[in-house]
Amino acid sequence: MARAFLRATAVVAGLALSAVSISAQATGETPPAAPAALPGLPAAPWLGVQMDAGGDIGVTIEHVVRGSPADKAGMHQGDRIVTVDGIKTTAPGQVTRAVGQHKVGDTISVEVERRGTATTASVVLAQRPSGDEILKMDLVGAPAPAWTKVSALAGAPSSIAQLRGRVVLVDFWASWCGPCRMLAPRLSALKDKFGAQGLTVVGITTDDAEKAAVFAEKHQMRYPIVVDNSGDTSRSYGVSALPTMLLIDKKGIVREVFIGFDPSGDARLESTLKTLLAETAPPAAPLPPPAPSAPRPPAR
């Protein structure tokens, strides 16, 4: 069963994870989760990048959180962090320690290498958010990431793009997740209540197809199930806790994220659903031009 590869939407200094039922695995030397701030202690400074690997020419940035200090300073996925405040970095832990030596509000100088060109970013460090806050920063207000390497069960959609024009509630779940079992019949009830008004509920799981189908039948999942075969889709959404639900509007934009199971949140979820269902759907995309009747000669 695929738990280990579900990594958090991460983020240095330190890796901020959601409170979870997933065993998320960090990359490189990035240290384990830590709270954004402890009572009586100063807030932890935050750069807002997930680092992949180190080497002689710096530390590769695997992901930059939207709205983070790194994002505001113009740092990008694929950049390599070469120095922090003039000190060479060859491993993720070195970047983490360099950032951790500062306080919130400090400006640090980060030299990055981008496609063979060196550039320097002045980064104003912010207070490190919680893992849940980071996930919402990354997703809310942005287009829902595409699904990759998934298998659609029993007529389920094979891509998020197929659902454009409808409000979509995507639920990331697993058969081993206790709260997911309690949530499933509630989502079925929402599908029954609002489906005719334009709501589609989709469950996405890294369980294999047979296990997912058995679970869906046993726990009253009257909505389509998609199997995330490699975990790539879960990673692209930054899922580190189950259940994690996203509300996506008719234009394909993530409008809300719900992490964990909270029965008291039913009213807020339903209220948000009604708001999105009342919005005007985007116009249909224009049809592509007809294909030429014969192959065109190569352009020169």
Residues serving a catalytic function are: 177, 180
> In Å, how far are 8, 88, 184, 230, 246 from 171, measured between CA atoms?
17, 42, 9, 17, 7
**H or E element, residue 187:** helix 178-194
As beta bridge partners, residue 118 has: 113
Which residues, including other chains, have CB under 8 Å from residue 222's CB and lie 6 or more apart? 188, 191, 192
CA 60 to chain centre: 19
CA 188 to chain centre: 24
Rounded Cα distance between 228 and 216, Å, is 15
How many degrees, rounded to 5, is the angle at CA 175 between CA 170 and CA 176?
120
How many degrees, rounded to 5, is the angle at CA 31 between CA 29 and CA 37?
155
Rounded Cα distance between 68 and 36, Å, is 14
Contact assessment for residue 240 and residue 4, using Cβ atoms and an 8 Å cutoff? no
Residue for token digits 């070469």?
82
Rounded Cα distance between 48 and 128, Å, is 8
Cβ atoms within 10 Å, residue 273: 21
Q: What are phi and psi of 113, to 5 degrees?
A: -110, 125
> In Å, how far are 2, 135, 162, 207, 208 from 230, measured between CA atoms?
8, 21, 21, 10, 10
